[in-house]
Amino acid sequence: MRQLPLPAISLRPIDTKFKQISLIYIGSMALHEALIALQTGCSGLLTLKQDDPHFKKRLPSIPYVHQGELEILDRLTQLGRHYHTIDEYVQNIIKTKTSGLYILSFAFELRSILQSYLQCLSQLEHECLQNTSLTLSHLLISLTDYTLLFPALVSLINTLQSSGYRGCQILDVIRRCTLDGNTILSSTMKKLLCAGHRILIKQIISILTRGQVYDEYGEFFIGSNNSINVEAMGMTTPSISRMTSAAASRSHSPERAMMQTPQPNSAITPGYNQYLLIPEMLPSYIPLPLADKILFIGESWLLLKKNDDDDDDNDRNTRNSLGINSIDYDEQNHLVQQQLHALTLADDLNMFELERIIERARIDLSLTLRNLFVDRFHLIDELEQIRGFYLIERGELYTLFVNRTSQLLLNTKKSSNAIENDINEVFKQCLNDLHLDTILTNSDKFKFKLDFPPNELVNQEISAARRLLYRTQGSNDNSSSPSDFWSCGWANLSIQYKVKYPMKAFFSENCKQRYNDIFHLLIVLRYVQTELNSLWLAFKNHHRNSLVWHLRNTMSFFIDNFQYYIQIDVLEYKYQHLIRSIQSSTDFQQIKHLHELFLADIQTHSFMLLGTAYQSIKNILSICASFCLTIKQQEKKENLDENVLRGFGKDFNDEIKLLFGILGMVQKHNALPHLGVFLTRLDFNRFLTNNNGSFGEF
């Protein structure tokens, strides 16, 4: 029997069923490969491996897979690559433990974002197992938020790595990323910024409540002042906190590490002014005055709560008897800590609230410090002592001191402990002889020192002095040559003020240096005035050359008026104004500012900040001192060389003319209110004006 062939149509149902099974298999494989690509960045069987293990290329075409689905697979693969890049960055940061607290906190927040991404993938995998008919489009739609977020995070990571930003600097970069119209991207960036703000607030709380900065990686906008010689102050620098090493652990977040309480000896509290602002580390949205307030509050708590290591036992007993250590600041610190911690709970850092908290704390603390310094520590009495020593308030004391040490300091060309001890003993004897030891009671805190400049500066001064002053022709007494005046002890005498607790918060090193600058002028002025007066006493009964007396009287006229102007018109007026302002003020920072203005006003009205005018005054003082020394050296001669005397007169007139012209121009601009009184005394009868600013011919 002949077999008939099967109809062709009977093969079509079998072929269609096979095709459907193949498509189902291919679809399942595509979903599986897509889930792998979303975690690894490559799609496994659907890619061709190249020589580079990090570079994989998709097959150009796959049977039964639509080209659109392949493009979706490419997008999912790119998303997986972004995930892999972010995950690798996070793992490196946590593993190295050297990137700092801010970067570490940033990495921890990134890890939480990656964990939510992995949870989303796990949910999608479960859905794919439950429903095999799902497509790649379902995966892409479910991960839409991450397709927008991950590229922005990768770009942010690349920016941080390329710029080298660290610490507070990364807050500005992240904050700029929050200014985006996409709500998903903006909210995620705010979470990253909030993580950095938690570290920032913890560091602010640390310095506000304990006066300590834990910053191993140099990330905070307040750092150590390396210009201060801490060892010379009898202190030790803060040791590295265990807090930062614990923060790098994978099992502890940076925020928890910041909250760890340091061990009692983990950080020795540094002295006042040990910290300074680092503007380049300050975020742009935190004002510089606010950072300055934070620094002030931290150093003030530091001053009030800790004892300086260089104070002796008597100072500690004095502090304890005053009850300083018994003052309880825990309640106020706890309140500030709670208010600042509440700021970290919000998505955005409320700068207005932060400024309000800091300002409130500053006002309360400043009032406390004002009461302590003015009422308990007797700041005004301390200023009286400084006035008596630095500002030569007791003229009779320094006149006696100049008379007794005139020759000693004139012949001194370099410092030595023996000479300094002799000078201090003479000064103490002067205090006893005038019965001023009961008025200037803190003489043990003020010691005279000889502070000679380097040799090159001395040579410059001597060369300038020779040009103006060297009139003693043929003089072989080099030890007392007039040209060496600015290299002798009088021109290099200073006062060392031992600032004790708690006055270090008020009298900084800069203040002491400015007081010494003023003292340099006043002591040389007092020396020259005394020498001119002693010249008159020595030769008043002798018939000398009238030119000598003319020169001496003219010099004395200027020196007396200049000395009266500084002591009465400037120092006395400014000091009384300072005392009245201190007594009426309730703000410690304002009192410090008033004191700094007081020093600046003295230097300004004494022409110390007018370079040419001040140099002219120094030249006048040199000429007068050289004139007195020359007359004393040649006192045994019956006839003095008139050419030498006229040379002194010419130099003196030239400097007076220059100074009078400069001060006249300053007076026209009304820059110095008290200058007009001084010029009126000098030119009361218009003599200087009629002689072009000079005292006439000698």
Alpha helices in 306-449, H assignment, sequence order: 313-322, 330-343, 351-370, 379-389, 395-410, 417-433
pLDDT one-digit tens code per residue, 631-681: 887 765 656 677 888 888 888 989 988 988 888 888 887 777 778 888 888
Cβ contact 197:285 at 8 Å: no
**pTM for this model (two decimals):** 0.72
Measured N-to-C along each axis, helices 509-539 and 395-410 cross at an angle, to the nearest 10 degrees, of 80
Same-domain check for residues 444 and 502: yes
Structural domain that includes position 25? 19-47+62-164
Its sign, for the CA torsion 92, 97, 100, 106, is: positive
Asked if residue 522 lies in contact with residue 603, where contact means CB atoms within 8 angstroms, the answer is no
**Does residue 54 form part of some domain?**
no
Beta bridge partners of 494: 449
CB atoms near residue 14 (< 10 Å): 9
What distance in Å separates the CA atoms of residue 518 and residue 532, rounded to the nearest whole number? 21
3-class DSSP state of 644: helix
Is-contact 400 530, C-beta < 8 A?
no
Bridge partners for 460 per DSSP:
none
**Is residue 476 situated within a structural domain?**
no
pLDDT confidence band for 233 (50 / 70 / 90): very low
| Same domain, yes or no: 648 and 527 | yes
Q: Say what the pLDDT of residue 472 is.
A: 41
In a domain, 190, yes or no: no
Whether 645 and 547 have beta carbons less than 8 Å apart is answered as yes
* Domain presence at residue 413: yes
CATH number of residue 524's parent domain: 1.20.120.1900
Long-range pairs, 321-329, Cβ under 8 A, ≥24? 322/376, 324/372, 324/502, 329/301, 329/304, 329/305
Q: What is the mean pLDDT of the chain?
A: 78
User: Could you read off the pLDDT of 124-138 as tens digits, one per residue?
Assistant: 888 888 887 788 788
Instruction: Identify the burial level of 413 via C-beta atoms within 10 angstroms of its C-beta, where 0-12 means exposed, 13-18 middle and 19 or more buried.
Output: middle
Strands 275-277 and 47-49 turn out to be unpaired
Q: What is the pLDDT of residue 87?
A: 92
pLDDT band at 264 (very low <50, low <70, confident <90, very high): very low
- Amino acid identity at 427: F
**244 in a domain, yes or no?**
no
Q: Note whether 73 and 88 are same-domain residues.
A: yes
Please tell me whether residues 556 and 592 are part of one structural domain: yes
Poorest-pLDDT segment among 55-69, 98-112, 501-515: 55-69
d(CA 484, CA 413): 9
pLDDT attached to residue 155: 94
Q: For residue 234, what pLDDT band results from cuts at 50, 70 and 90?
A: very low
My answer on whether 365 and 457 are in the same domain is no
Q: Is residue 422 part of a domain?
A: yes
State the pLDDT confidence band at 90, using cuts at 50, 70 and 90.
very high
Structure tokens at 646: 């006229």
Is there a single domain that holds both residue 637 and residue 496? yes
360 with 442, same domain: the answer is no
Kindly state the average pLDDT of the residues 291-318.
68
Q: How far is CA 676 from CA 277, 462, 608, in A?
A: 41, 33, 17
| pLDDT > 90 in the chain, percent | 30
Instruction: Report whether 113 contacts 157 (CB < 8 A).
Output: no
Q: Both 656 and 632 in a single domain?
A: yes
The yes-or-no verdict on residue 530 having pLDDT over 80 is: yes
Token pair of 393, please? 């308030």
Same domain for 521 and 433: yes
pLDDT at 539: 72
Instruction: Please indicate, yes or no, whether residues 572 and 653 belong to a single structural domain of this protein.
Output: yes
Same domain, 364 and 436: no
509 with 650, same domain: the answer is yes
CB neighbour list of residue 221: distance below 8 Å, 6 or more residues apart? 168, 277, 278, 279, 281, 282, 283, 286, 291
φ and ψ at residue 622, rounded to 5 degrees: -65, -40
Strands (E), 244-329: 275-277
Q: Is the pLDDT assigned to residue 22 strictly greater than 70? A: no
Could you give the angle at the alpha carbon of 271 between the alpha carbons of 268 and 273, nearest 5°? Answer: 135
Q: Is residue 339 assigned to a domain?
A: yes
The tens digit of pLDDT for each residue in 167-213 reads: 999 999 999 999 888 889 999 999 999 999 999 999 999 998 888 88
Burial of 332 (0-12, 13-18, 19+ CB in 10 A): middle
Distance of CA 358 to the CA centre of its chain: 19
Q: Which two tokens stand for residue 314?
A: 């008597």
pLDDT of residue 328: 54
Quickly count: other Cβ atoms within 10 Å of residue 146's Cβ.
21
Residue 631 host element (H or E): helix 611-633
b (16+ CB within 10 A) / e for 238-267: beebbbbeebbeeeebbbebbebebeeebb
Helix axes 67-96, 101-130, angle to 10 degrees: 140
Radius of gyration of the chain (CA): 40
* Residue 556 belongs to some domain of the structure: yes
> Distance between CA 193 and CA 322 in Å, rounded?
46
Per DSSP, the residues of 81-142 read: HHHHHHHHHHHHHHHH--S-HHHHHHHHHHHHHHHHHHHHHHHHHHHHHH-TT--HHHHHHH
Q: What is the domain count for the chain?
A: 3
* Nearest one of 369, 245, 254 to 303, comparing CA atoms: 369
User: Angle formed by the axes of helices 675-682 and 642-668, to 10°?
Assistant: 140
